[in-house]
Amino acid sequence: MSAQTIQGNINARKFQEMLLGWYDAHARNLPWRESRDPYRVWVSEIMLQQTKVAAVIEHYHEFLRRFPTVQKLASAREASVLAAWSGLGYYRRARMLHSAAKVIISERAGTFPQTAAEWRTLPGVGRYTAAAIASIAFGETAAVVDGNVERVLRRIVGKAISGEQVWDLAENLLDHERPGDSNQAMMELGATVCTPRSPACLTCPVTQICVSRGELADIAKAAPQKKREVHYALHRKNGTVFLVQRPKNARLMAGMWELPEIAPPRDRDNPLFKVKHSITITDYTVEIWALSEPVGVNGQWCAIERLPNLPLTGLARKVLRRSGIFPASGRPANSSRVSGQA
Ligand code: SF4
């Protein structure tokens, strides 16, 4: 289906006028909107990835106070950058930002890329972020699509579009004279009006041309998270740890290795430690118990140095890391040998 077919009777010009008119009157006063300086726009876009606006506001000024220029950021110690990022989470973003700053200084003599294509060559800059920076800071006609924009566009055209169809439609509806504002207006609409669970269609600036007018709201309704407590045994001896393999025909994580799940031990006071773990709609509280020999469990003693090569479940990896067994980094061994049989 072409973007024109998806767009149907929606007049792009009219859509842009309505959206930008609303944005000019109602846009939130956010600190990164005060400037089109590429360094500031870039920092804000990286901070905003998977993080709420309120949390970013708290950190944005302090980060820029410590690292007011890309030169200062590039020459900083990583520990300092991570400290300034503290509280924002997803620290890989901070490391990538730092790496990209070094690239800008060492390979581009401190000159920022201007196009989305160039921005994408930098560490930590994906398609969305590159288009956002290039359109806001340099006026490139590159549309952005994230979860918010995708939801808004789906509702506007009243069709379950996905992937490249969404990007094509976003490009078609982008204002070519004000691409940065047009992108920000779409993001603003998704964040403040066309929200996942309760779109405010009565106050929406594009309600006249929106095909679904909230009828697709249910698509985005999140299922409530369930809560569960589970218990796993940690058996160790002679440089090995006891693991079990999930059935090859298991619906989830088939064939992967994990710690043996057990009933809550009644004769012990406290687990070794607890971790939180979420899988789709379930939040688990996981209690790990240090036990001696496994009894009646079909599993294997796995050499600890081989663990990096084993297909471990995410939870097993988390637990083994937390217990100091699984190396936080290091070169994987050459094979995924397992040894011994319980
Ligand atoms: Fe979203 Fe409603 Fe506006 Fe359509 S009319 S874009 S569903 S808020």
- Where in 223-272 does DSSP place strands (E)? 226-234, 236-237, 240-245, 257-258, 261-262
Residue 201 Cα: closest atom of ligand 1: 2
pTM: 0.65
The Cβ of residue 147 has, within 10 Å, a number of other Cβ atoms equal to: 12
pLDDT of residue 330: 37
pLDDT of amino acid 335: 35
Tokens standing for residue 126: 């994906």
| 140 among known catalytic residues | no
Query: What is the bridge-based pairing of β-strands 236-237 and 300-303?
Result: unpaired
Distance 23 CA to ligand 1 centre (A): 15
Distance 159 CA to ligand 1 centre (A): 13
Q: How many angstroms separate the alpha carbon of residue 213 from the centre of ligand 1?
A: 5
- Inter-residue contact 182 to 22 (CB < 8 Å): no
Ligand 1 centroid vs 110 CA: distance in angstroms? Answer: 42
Encoded tokens for 117: 């294509």
Q: Which ligand 1 atom is nearest residue 205's CA?
A: 3
pLDDT of residue 338: 43
Nearby residues of 284 by Cβ (< 8 Å), 6 or more positions away: 227, 228, 229, 230, 276, 277, 278, 315
Query: How confident is the model at residue 340, as a pLDDT?
Result: 40
Hey, which of 152, 169, 203 would you mutate to test ligand 1's pocket, going by the most ligand atoms within 8 Å of its Cβ? Answer: 152
Reference 143, options 168, 113, 118, 162; nearest CA is 168
* Separation of first and last alpha carbons in the chain: 56
110 contacts: CB under 8 Å, gap ≥ 6: 70, 71, 104
Q: Compute how many other C-beta atoms are within 10 angstroms of the C-beta atom of residue 259.
A: 25
Q: Which residues line ligand 1 (CB under 6 A)?
A: 152, 155-156, 193-194, 199-201, 204, 206-207, 210, 212-214
Walking along the chain (342 residues) 10 residues at a time, the average pLDDT comes out as 68 94 95 94 94 88 95 92 77 92 97 97 96 97 94 92 92 96 96 92 94 67 77 93 86 77 81 85 90 88 84 82 72 39 41
pLDDT (0 to 100) of residue 5:
67
Indicate which residue of 17, 45, 58, 305 is catalytic.
45
- Confidence (pLDDT) at 339: 43
Which pLDDT does position 104 carry in this prediction?
Answer: 98
Contact (Cβ atoms closer than 8 angstroms) between residue 146 and residue 171 = no
Domains of the chain: 3-209 (1.10.340.30), 226-323 (3.90.79.10)
